[in-house]
Amino acid sequence: MANEIQENEKILDVKNLRISFRTDGGTVKAVRGISFSLYRGRTLAIVGESGSGKSVTSKAILGILAENKIVEDGQILYDGKDLLQIGEDQFSKIRGVKISMIFQDPLSSLNPIMIVGKQLTEAMVLKHKADKKEANHVLKKFDHYLNEADHAAFEEFTAAKDKEGFDLSTYDVLFEEATDLSVEAQKTAIGEILPKLQEIYDTEFQKEVIDFNKAYNLLKPLFPALKKCELGIATNPDNTIAVFPIQAKNYQEAAKDSLKHQKLLEKNLAKYHVNDFFDLPAGVRAKSRETIVSQVEHSNHFKNALTELINHLNDLLGRSPKDIKALAKGMNKAYGEALLLSKSELSAKEAKERAIKMLADVGINEPERRYNQYPFELSGGMRQRIVIAIALCSSPEILICDEPTTALDVTIQSQILELINRLKKEKNLSIVFITHDLGVVANMADDIAVMYAGKIVEQGSATDIFYDPRHPYTWALLGSVPDLNTKEKLNAIPGTPPNMLLPPRGDAFAPRNKDALEIDTLYQPPFFQISPTHRAATWNLHPEAEEVQAPKLVISRIKAALKAHPEFTPKADNMKNSVLNYIKEDKGNE
Ligand SMILES: Nc1ncnc2c1ncn2[C@@H]1O[C@H](COP(=O)(O)OP(=O)(O)OP(=O)(O)O)[C@@H](O)[C@H]1O
Ligand SMILES: [Mg+2]
């Protein structure tokens, strides 16, 4: 079992998701305000009985809810976007690409009349095409940036890359320069000049036509500091110098203008045999400046550029030093990868070789032979392996597994779980694993959300849920998991889940809870925090509620498990209703 939640990166953040469905019988309230986070590289299990809203949740993440849906509320944040708000064109770049899925029935995901190898290579070719398009897009952006920002360096880089094929090290040098100065020093410099720039902007740059001489004199003292921040500097024929972030579009514009000015000026200075702009005949002076770009236009460029500069500096200040370094490194890497990708071709032969390797990767024996078989010729476990291979063709970040092993028998089931676990580690996947069986996720989940009647009733690390469960529904789920060692008979959860057309007023689990309190029938319980990683929504945790113990079966199982694995003892700040509390008190009686 995995460690406690660390403050690592949230890759998916679901906030107050509320989904209903329009039906002839009324509105089905399928998901009633749930919030959870998926962290990078971790597996989140969503566990609950049939009808609790697990699949509706996963379909919402994938944007494949049925037509009669009503998205009542909430956000699904991924990669800076709210998946509930984006259009289908954007979603098609995410679904099956960044977020892949596998479902319970592998046959429904496979084409019955196509050999499995072809289904894999088709997925690869599609992915390859999409990647190439994206790579070219990235390259264009970079080229533009490099071209404008540092022409000489870019030329050198292009020459080197054409001569030797692509060499990342050349590129490294290019960007290392940008991070030469310690990031802290850059930040200090930025912190000093930012207020000054803002002041100059607020005073001098508000006029329709900027007095460049005045602006220059104001900006001049800041140049050394700006240079330290790797900012571009454009000189102008009228002795003004403009300073811009090297990435800013307006810098490029202004720099181009400057260059034109500069050339014209140089020509004129030579032609008139003078050294100074102000020694030029008035008419020529005016021409050098105004015929190319009007003063107002020029002023506007500078205004925009300074605004961008200020924004850019603010942005840099907001980043951590590590971030700034990572930014340069990331750019570096992205360029290298994009370049390689834009040139790569995927031949039919190569695709086949890769497909065969993928089949072997997902544990299919005799992959060459399997490549040519149809789905119906394979066992259920093998089909599910192929579905997994196809899902991974796009190198997704997130894999959603909705009951992927329910249709398989127990031994095959554990092999598929092992496979998913291995692939998760190898490919640093973040997984949402949906199941009605807590037992299935014992060796899979890092974090667990227990769902009942469209709500999350308990949430915590796997250690919290397995070793210190607090909600009577979680107890019931744990009690219904068969014990593999003792072949103990499982206790079915008495009663049935509520009708979601008319969900109960208070705690939806109350009618099935023998310890239910009066308040349960009146008010929804809020979440009670048990530890920083663990919370549960049951009135039994209210400080004034009488303490209720977990069922004996659950306690004895946890006791046995803790004896074997004391390292899994969870940390609980709130001991009310804790199984651990009971076990501690009970120690003397053993
Ligand atoms: N298109 C729909 N129209 C009407 N009701 C729907 C629709 N889709 C789902 N529901 C209802 O939403 C509720 C939650 O369904 P969901 O499929 O999420 O359950 P689940 O937790 O995945 O259950 P299972 O374990 O059976 O797969 C159920 O009451 C279901 O009947
Ligand atoms: Mg389901």
C-alpha closest to that of 60 among 69, 68, 50, 51 = 69
| 3-state secondary structure string across 408-442 | CCHHHHHHHHHHHHHHHHHHCCEEEEEECCHHHHC
Q: Which atom of ligand 1 is nearest to the CA of 54?
A: 21
Indicate whether 292 belongs to any domain. yes
Indicate whether 98 belongs to any domain. no
Q: What is the pLDDT of residues 469-510, one digit of tens each?
A: 999 999 999 988 876 565 565 667 888 899 999 988 899 999
The amino acid sitting at 185 is A
Q: Between 116-149 and 380-392, two packed helices, what is the crossing angle to 10 degrees?
A: 10
Residue found by looking up tokens 């925090």 in the block: 529
- Ligand 2 centroid to Cα of residue 402, in Å, is 7
Q: Where among 263, 295, 317 does a domain terminate?
A: 317
Q: Which domain holds residue 477?
A: 469-589
For ligand 1, atom 14: residue with the closest CA: 53
Distance, CA of 78 to CA of 101 (rounded, Å) = 16
Indicate whether 450 belongs to any domain. no
pLDDT at 79 over 80: yes
pLDDT at 180 over 80: no
Q: Where among 270, 286, 317 does a domain terminate?
A: 317
Q: What is the pLDDT of residues 278-287, one digit of tens each?
A: 556 666 655 5
For ligand 1, atom 31: residue with the closest CA: 51
Average pLDDT over residues 555-562: 89
Contact 277, 238 (CB under 8 A): yes
For ligand 1, atom 25: residue with the closest CA: 50
Sign of the torsion angle spanned by Cα atoms 123, 129, 132, 138 = negative
Cβ-based neighbour number of residue 223 at 10 Å:
15
Q: Which atom of ligand 1 is nearest to the CA of 65?
A: 1
Q: In this predicted structure, which of 104-118, 201-215, 257-271 has the lowest mean pLDDT?
A: 257-271
Name all residues whose Cβ lies below 6 A of ligand 1: 21, 23, 28, 30, 48, 50-56, 66, 68, 436, 500
Structure tokens at 6: 């660390």
Structure tokens at 197: 């720039």
Kindly give, in sequence order, each residue whose CB lies less than 8 Å from that of residue 300, ignoring residues fewer than 6 positions away.
Answer: none
- Band of the pLDDT at 459, cuts 50, 70, 90? very high
Q: What is the mean pLDDT of the chain?
A: 78
For ligand 1, atom 10: residue with the closest CA: 30
Pocket test of ligand 1: the residue of 23, 54, 455 to mutate, having most ligand atoms within 8 Å of its CB, is 54
List strand residue ranges (DSSP E) for 301-423, in order: 398-402
Average pLDDT over residues 247-260: 46
Q: Where among 317, 345, 367 does a domain terminate?
A: 317
Indicate whether 203 belongs to any domain. no
Residue found by looking up tokens 């063709």 in the block: 393
Indicate whether 542 belongs to any domain. yes
Pocket test of ligand 1: the residue of 27, 28, 496 to mutate, having most ligand atoms within 8 Å of its CB, is 28
- Ligand 1 centroid to Cα of residue 51, in Å, is 5
Average pLDDT over residues 245-274: 54
Helix or strand or coil: residue 262? helix
Helix or strand or coil: residue 151? helix
Sign of the torsion angle spanned by Cα atoms 438, 461, 424, 388 = positive
Indicate whether 166 belongs to any domain. no
Contact 440, 521 (CB under 8 A): no
Q: Which ligand is closest in space to the CA of residue 454? A: 1
Indicate whether 103 belongs to any domain. no
Q: What is the pLDDT of residues 298-309, one digit of tens each?
A: 566 666 666 766
Indicate whether 458 belongs to any domain. no
Q: Which atom of ligand 1 is nearest to the CA of 67?
A: 1
- Ligand 1 centroid to Cα of residue 100, in Å, is 21
**Domains in the chain, number:** 2
- Ligand 2 centroid to Cα of residue 62, in Å, is 14
